[in-house]
């Protein structure tokens, strides 16, 4: 499972011109699910995400506070293209989890993030839709997290 976490001052998702979700300060997170991902991957990254110290404290000390400490928001957007591999010049997505199972997996991940934080502060895009995502990256700060590059610890 892969997350691309961006620290933002604002972010929004639109589908067919209609606003689906928006947040103020916080994290806009692209969520990629591989065909081999298990519940342990989702649990691990949900915990990492809500505890990730990517914000300054009130005295300006960088990398000291997490989204919960600051009361900021999280916007989760499914992104199967994070598992693309190139075949020549064409992307191939065979490493991504199929759409038949990935929607339930994504929704379960969203629930895990909500249970680790405050439900009303966690928003999401529209799974499977052609989304238009806008954001203002703060820093810019963008971090890549991959559940298979960590050891599962508590």
Of 6, 44, 55, 79, the active-site residue reads: 79
The one catalytic residue among 9, 81, 101, 119: 81
Active site residue 44: no
Asked about 79 being catalytic, the answer comes back as yes
Question: Which entry of 6, 44, 55, 80 is annotated as an active-site residue?
Answer: 80
143-146: list long-range contacts, CB under 8 Å, 24+ apart: 143/4, 143/5, 143/6, 143/52, 143/54, 144/2, 144/3, 144/4, 144/5, 145/2, 145/3, 145/5, 145/45, 145/48, 145/49, 145/52, 146/1, 146/2, 146/3
Is-catalytic flag, 55? no
- Active site residue ranges: 79-81
């Amino acid at each position: 499972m892969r997350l691309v976490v961006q620290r933002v001052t604002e972010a929004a998702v639109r589908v067919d011109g209609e606003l689906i979700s928006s947040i103020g300060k916080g994290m806009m997170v692209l969520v990629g699910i591989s065909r081999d991902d298990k519940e342990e991957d989702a649990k691990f990254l949900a915990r990492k995400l809500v505890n990730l110290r990517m914000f300054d404290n009130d005295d300006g000390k960088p990398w000291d506070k997490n989204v919960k400490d600051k009361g900021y928001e999280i916007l989760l957007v499914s992104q199967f293209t994070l598992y693309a591999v190139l075949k020549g010049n064409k992307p191939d997505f065979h490493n991504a989890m199929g759409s038949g199972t990935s929607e339930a997996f994504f929704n379960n991940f969203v629930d895990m993030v909500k249970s680790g934080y405050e439900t009303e502060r966690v928003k999401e895009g529209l799974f499977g839709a052609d989304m238009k995502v806008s954001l203002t990256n703060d820093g810019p700060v963008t971090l890549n997290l991959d559940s298979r590059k960590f050891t599962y610890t508590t």
